[in-house]
Structure 1
């Protein structure tokens, strides 16, 4: 059993990390962090640096998570972030995926964004949205 968090270095990403840490502690399971990077948009603030990923790992360890690691997953321009996240679920064998959502947008306050909606619809793991 493991928990995967799609980590981004934003307040919503930090909230997702916090929820994933709590869940990993609750169930005594491994925690995996992935930051999906679209190579053509290096200036995107959602791209975590190696230092930010390391800090996120240290945060989980300080909280008591014993088995934690992180990685950056690079995707090409035409690839979808949702598919990269789902591939990570399959590769890590995660039972739960934790995502931070920016609720709202467009004219519908329930709109979560295309990536999250795709992941919810197609994920082979349980999905926790924070």
Structure 2
């Protein structure tokens, strides 16, 4: 079993990564850090740099957690990639970060976090960044 975390280089993504590292340490499980770019996108703010991912991996190593990064691409929605990886790796937990969005923003753009919470067949831990 493993823990899957959807990581983006934002305060919510950092909070999710730290919570996932903590949970993996407590459970004695491996950590799968997922960062994905939208296919065909020329500019993607959710793509983590090598430095971002190295920092997350170093933090996991410091906590005694074995971690691996999965960098993929998604066509429509990051939700399917997270859920598929959770299934493939028999995840005991999916960890996601939450950010504040307006009602109109959620209506127009949708919410990956909401879809993961509603569609996941595995337990989900939703984390907010500290204020």
* CA deviations over 1:20-55 (Å, ceiling 9, x no partner): 011111111111100021032242221112332222
The CA distance in 2 between the partners of 1:83 and 1:61, in whole Å, is 28
CA RMSD of aligned residues (A): 1.9
Match for 2:121 among 110, 120, 124? 124
Aligned to 2:27: 27
**Structure 2 counterpart SS, 1:129:** strand
The runs of 5 or more residues in structure 2 that have no matched partner are none
**Structure 1 counterpart SS, 2:35:** strand
**Moved runs in structure 1, 4+ residues, more than 6 A?**
none
The CA distance in 2 between the partners of 1:107 and 1:42, in whole Å, is 25
Does the 8 Å contact 1:36/1:85 carry over to 2?
no
The runs of 5 or more residues in structure 1 that have no matched partner are none
TM-score normalised by length of structure 1: 0.85
